Amino acid sequence: MRGLYPIVDVESLRQRGKPPLAIVDFAERVLAIRPALLQLRAKHSGARETLELLRALRPLCTRAGARLIANDRPDLALLAECDGVHVGQEDLPLSVVRQIAPGLLVGVSTHRAEQLTAALAEEPDYVAFGPVFGTISKQRPDPSVGLVGLCEAHTAARAARIPLVAIGGIDQERAAQVAAHCELAAVIAALLPNPTSLAGVTDAARALHAALGGAPLAQI
């Protein structure tokens, strides 16, 4: 499992004037490259809207062979028949998620070495670490860890045999820099090269996936 981990960020799309139907259209364009995982991030959406979006994405991910990951909400992940859930430092602990949803894959966000160590000890299905670079996708981002921090995190994750996801400020140029220090890289902003339309989304996803060492489409 290597390459792009695309995140469908509802807030980023709305800031560009995209309605709910365009959110699904965006996801379909990204799924054309058949990534291993696709996450829906709907931080400011209500439970009903988030559930509707997850249910709309479920058949698209199934056709593309991608695992659908819900952000923050294991309850909605179960209702929408997602494959997994991604939790942050302020969300439900991994141990609790596994109690209420034992069949879900669980990924955990970490931002500092001590958080990473604690997360690895609980053996999540993957651990995210960052922001590697400055990011515009969060209102109050944690300090950047840089490539040195990412390399150290990857060493620890490999020792624990847990895939590492790099996140934060990763674009096509930086993708080549992080590729050696992670299994996957989560991307939001760089998947939207055109500020006014969804043109170029599939090409951007394909280029990022290739730069991150993902298998070409014909080999997936």
Dump pLDDT digits (tens) for 117-148.
999 999 999 999 999 998 766 667 778 999 99
More confident: 137 or 83:
83
Give the C-alpha separation, 211 to 192, whole Å. Answer: 17
What is the CATH T-level fold of the domain 3-219, as seen in this structure? TIM Barrel (3.20.20)
pLDDT digits (tens, 9 = 90+) for 155-184: 999 999 999 999 999 999 999 999 999 999
Confidence of residue 220 (pLDDT cuts 50, 70, 90): very low
Delimit the domains of the chain by residue range: 3-219
Q: How far from 180 is each of 140, 151, 173, CA to CA, in Å?
A: 28, 8, 14
Task: Tell whether the model's pLDDT for residue 19 goes beyond 80.
Answer: no
Burial class, 157, CB count within 10 angstroms (exposed 0-12 / middle 13-18 / buried 19+): buried
